[in-house]
Amino acid sequence: MNATAFFTKDDGRKLPVGDDYLLPFLNPTSPGTNYWDSPPPNSKSVLRRQDGRILLQLHQVIDLLRRSQIPLKDKVLLDIGTGNGMIPRLMLQFSDLSAAVGVDPYLDGEHKSSWQQHDRDELFLELAGFIEKQCPGVLDFDKYRDLTQYQDFSLMPGPCPYEKAKGKKFRFEQIGAHDLGQLDDKFDIFYAKAIDHIPNWAGIFKAIREVANPGAVVVIKHFSFFSYLGPHRYATTNIPWGHLLMTDDEYRRFATEFHSSRSDQMIDFYFNGLAYPRTTMSQLTEIARQNGFAMHVSITEPNRSLAHYFKFIDEVPDFWDIVRENHPSASVEEMFSGRCHMVFKSVD
């Protein structure tokens, strides 16, 4: 038993609480910080750690499109929830895309998950130079494997040859995912790696349809709410799958009782920083279908800590009964999943 305390649900059932359920699986973002802290701004050590993360993200999406047989030549990309825009800018430089737009409703530090500074031309040039030096001519995971030790992933992309290109057009627009109709452009490829933080997924697909060219594809990289660390570092509990075992009111009470120093931040992120209502991958697939997009490719990364999580279930009496009471649509597969990489293709 890893519990050091217990949380009592409204019906009297007790849930085990202990740091061993959480701390081994969440690395701090930088030295000297807590696991729930955002990276400190302008930290050189953080930026260097981000080099490997950004290169991995870039490589994964290019490899996923290549494996999905989606041609990039002369196509236009829209990155939804772009943050500081590094991924679409780098995709332009290291692929055959012709142009890209990044949209995000938040600027510097306005959202817990969007801490990066915008308008970082200097950082972009540094990253582009770093990638070209690290992987000359071919994005090769083995060339930067050692830079990904802090990243929670298990999908290693294959080699992706490239011819570096300059002078392609990128711009940033400060709009939300539901307001894409404000753009005058039409797009061939949509990339969304932050739908975890966007409510109303049906609204996202409806907005995409407004600005999609015929045959458009939507690429989604997603960490399911129903997985073990689904509420992210900012709101995950030190109860095994506590976010599935507690009702919303119980979560508020738990945060107040066990994390009083940051309970307000936990509660705010849990209800306002994460997609609400909670939506499963099966429901997402149906939302896409209703808006004219069919599943083309779906890859789920193996969860590297699965053996530990599996054992924790036995420490919670009535575990499956409580999960089914609170979230009847949650599947075992999704609860044990790592990140999901999905490609939807327009069927119009």
* DSSP result, 264-333: HHHHHIIIIIS-SS---HHHHHHHHHHTTEEEEEEEEPPPTTHHHHHHHGGGSTTHHHHHHHH-TT--HH
Record the tokens describing residue 265, joined without a space.
Answer: 């931040």
- Determine, yes or no, domain membership for 194: yes
Element (DSSP H or E) covering residue 219: strand 212-222
* Confidence band for 123, pLDDT divided at 50, 70 and 90: confident
Supply angle C-alpha 55, 61, 62, rounded to 5.
85
- Determine, yes or no, domain membership for 187: yes
Residue 277 pLDDT greater than 80, yes or no: yes
* Sign for the pseudo-dihedral over CA of 213, 221, 147, 118: positive
Residue 312 pLDDT greater than 90, yes or no: yes
What are the backbone dihedrals phi and psi of residue 83, each rounded to the nearest 5 degrees, phi first? Answer: 65, -125
Q: Which domain holds residue 103?
A: 40-222
Q: Comparing 35-49, 78-92, 179-193, which segment has the lowest mean pLDDT?
A: 35-49
Residue 286 pLDDT greater than 90, yes or no: yes
Average per-residue pLDDT for the chain: 91
Q: How many CA atoms lie within 13 A of 55 on its CB side?
A: 31
Identify the CA nearest to 173 among candidates 184, 161, 188, 160: 184
Are the beta carbons of 158 and 67 closer than 8 angstroms? yes
- d(CA 278, CA 323) in angstroms, rounded, equals 14
* Residue 102 DSSP one-character state: E
* Residue 39 DSSP one-character state: P
Residue 107 pLDDT greater than 90, yes or no: no
- The type of residue at 121 is D
Tell me, what's the pLDDT at 115? Answer: 42
Q: What are the distances in angstroms from CA 11 to CA 7, 15, 136?
A: 11, 11, 60
* Sign for the pseudo-dihedral over CA of 10, 247, 329, 232: negative
Residue 161 pLDDT greater than 50, yes or no: yes
Q: Three-state SS for 91?
A: helix
Identify the CA nearest to 62 among candidates 169, 152, 162: 162
- Determine, yes or no, domain membership for 315: no
Tell me, what's the pLDDT at 74? Answer: 95
The enclosing domain of 134 has a CATH number of 3.40.50
Tell me, what's the pLDDT at 118? Answer: 56
What are the backbone dihedrals phi and psi of residue 215, each rounded to the nearest 5 degrees, phi first? Answer: 80, 15
Residue 19 pLDDT greater than 80, yes or no: yes
Rounded to two decimals, the pTM is 0.91
- Determine, yes or no, domain membership for 2: no
Domain count, the chain: 1
- Exposure string (b/e) for 14-50, b if CB count within 10 Å is 16 or more? ebbbbeebbeebbeebbeeeeebebbeeebeebbebb
Tell me, what's the pLDDT at 112? Answer: 47
Residues shown for the chain: 348
- d(CA 196, CA 3) in angstroms, rounded, equals 29
Query: How many of the other CB atoms lie within 10 Å of CB of 280?
Result: 16
- d(CA 176, CA 178) in angstroms, rounded, equals 5
- d(CA 221, CA 178) in angstroms, rounded, equals 18
